[in-house]
Structure 1
Amino acid sequence: MGRLEGKIAVITGGNSGIGLATAKRFVAEGAEIFITGRRQEELDRAVEAIGSGVTAVQGDVSRLDDLERLFETVRAKSGRIDILFANAGLGSLAPLGTIDEASFDLTFDVNVKGALFTVQKALPLMQDGGSIILTGSTTGSTGTPAFSIYSATKAAIRNFARSWALDLRGTGIRVNVLSPGATETPGLKGLASAGEEDALLEGLASQIPLGRTGHPEETAAVALFLASNESSFMTGSEVFADGGAAQV
């Protein structure tokens, strides 16, 4: 039997990158999963890549009606949630002095508002002993040039876990943060100018003690640990999958 045999998991932003790698791993470990993403075409490709045991619901986590539709689908099909991975997020580069209101609002709406209401609307379906995983980032605890807005959203995510661990006292539900470092995802590569993706990854790798950037599957392995009963005495914690980047 897999480590998530019989479990019901919801993964937002499950159509690419870390979310997709985690969806594949959860299904391989026996879970039935629901994934979301904003673009239907990418969701369709993700479902094909994952195979069986997956239901895709198109939606934007910053829109509360989309979240309602997601959790109504989960309620109707499975009736409960054992694992919630609030993973959807985005960011863009903008040094202080060039930040505009639209990009600020978009980043906070998706990364902070989206995470908050994803968790809050999922709670009625969460089971005793359930696991909530929030995607943080090394940028939430380190300074990063031209990335202050994204970094601030991830600092907020870290405090959400600390505060919600107290709010959830007595429910048996635990909440932890999974903070990747530089990981080879479409989102990270999208920060580079056209043709500069390799240079971006090489520059990031030079700052990482392990000497390379991470792979989505490596972060998915940590998500599996936080989703499983192996992390049953952990709540309010932050676990880094960063090659040591934020640790030394």
Structure 2
Amino acid sequence: MSKVIVITGAGSGLGRALARCFVADGDHVVLLGRTMSKLEAVVGELGDNALAVGCDVGNPDSVRAAFAKIAERHPKIDVLINNAAKIDYSTLARASDSHIIDIVMTNLAGNMFASRAAINMMERGGHIINVTSVSVEEPYPHHVVYQGSKGGVEAMSKHLQDELRPDGIRVTVVRAGPMLDEDYQAQSGAEESAAFFQASLERGMNLMEMPVSHFKSITWVFRSLIDMPDDMHVDTLRFNSRKP
């Protein structure tokens, strides 16, 4: 049976790859993102089973408006994938106010805003999947704000699962390793990226030698989670990249 799957940050990257996978499988997908031109390009590719809705997950009013629009076509949501995230490289000492606020509002508060809206459109069997990062535990430098926001998502997910268990709604964390595709563009500027690269070398991490997966290689992980039998649950699933 097809599902209604809402994906945040779906205009590119992992979100776009997941949308392509799910529509190909016959599901109905709602793509959320801040840049409508990117969302519309994906929907133009995917057809009638895809819906583009502009949404800044870090803005609660934008999230409310987006889910109200979703409800016009899909009164019930089966799955929410909180994929939208922002990362900028900086030490905490040098981080600007906007750096901290933007990352925390998108990655942590945005996850809560979207989850809150989705819960109220879910029935038993609903599933919230929160994408975090192996950097929560790995010693990546210049990641403190990002790591803090993703660690917060993991803690929130654990306690949200306890809250939603009586309602039959599952919450799963996917702790993802490095991944990209041919359209990947770094969010940070050249100077910040260079400083991150150098700091990584000083910690014994040569980023040029680390394996990176393609977004398309990851979609089966989410497909498997969504298709879990009713008597199964996965709290946290961690995957990493490897060189073939």
What TM-score do the two structures reach when normalised by structure 2? 0.87
1:189 aligns with 2:186: yes
Q: Deviations over 1:107-151 (max 9, x none)?
A: 000000000010011111112111110010111122210111111
Q: RMSD of aligned C-alpha atoms? A: 2.4
d(CA) in 1 for partners of 2:225, 2:208: 26
Q: Deviations over 1:160-194 (max 9, x none)?
A: 11111101121111000112111115566344639
1:112 aligns with 2:108: yes
> Structure 1 residues 113-122 or 92-101, which shifts more?
92-101
Contact 2:127 2:169 in 1 (8 A): yes
Task: Give the alignment of 1:117-196 within 5 angstroms.
Answer: 117-185=113-181, 189-191=186-188, 193=190
Please name the residue that 2:54 is paired with.
58
Provide the identity percentage: 24
d(CA) in 1 for partners of 2:188, 2:56: 21
Structure 1 residues 148 and 244 mapped into 2: Cα distance closer, same or farther (>3 Å)? Answer: farther
1:241 aligns with 2:239: yes
d(CA) in 2 for partners of 1:101, 1:231: 44
1:219 aligns with 2:218: yes
**1:52 CA displacement:** 3.3
Contact 2:80 2:128 in 1 (8 A): yes
1:49 aligns with 2:45: yes
Aligned-partner SS, 2:190: coil
Structure 1 residues 213 and 191 mapped into 2: Cα distance closer, same or farther (>3 Å)? Answer: farther
Unaligned residue ranges in structure 2 (runs of 5+): 198-204
d(CA) in 2 for partners of 1:227, 1:6: 11
**1:155 CA displacement:** 0.6
Unaligned residue ranges in structure 1 (runs of 5+): none
d(CA) in 2 for partners of 1:178, 1:218: 14
d(CA) in 1 for partners of 2:2, 2:14: 22
d(CA) in 2 for partners of 1:91, 1:188: 12
Aligned-partner SS, 1:57: strand
Contact 1:225 1:231 in 2 (8 A): no
Structure 1 residues 171 and 214 mapped into 2: Cα distance closer, same or farther (>3 Å)? Answer: same
d(CA) in 2 for partners of 1:105, 1:187: 24
Aligned-partner SS, 2:124: strand
Name the amino acid aligned to 1:227.
I
Contact 2:3 2:78 in 1 (8 A): yes
Please name the residue that 2:20 is paired with.
24
**Counterpart selection for 1:204 from 197, 201, 207:** 207
Please name the residue that 2:201 is paired with.
none
Q: Deviations over 1:31-85 (max 9, x none)?
A: 1111111011111212123333000001100111211122112222121001111
d(CA) in 1 for partners of 2:153, 2:127: 16
Name the amino acid aligned to 1:165.
Q
Please name the residue that 2:89 is paired with.
93
Structure 1 residues 96 and 78 mapped into 2: Cα distance closer, same or farther (>3 Å)? Answer: closer
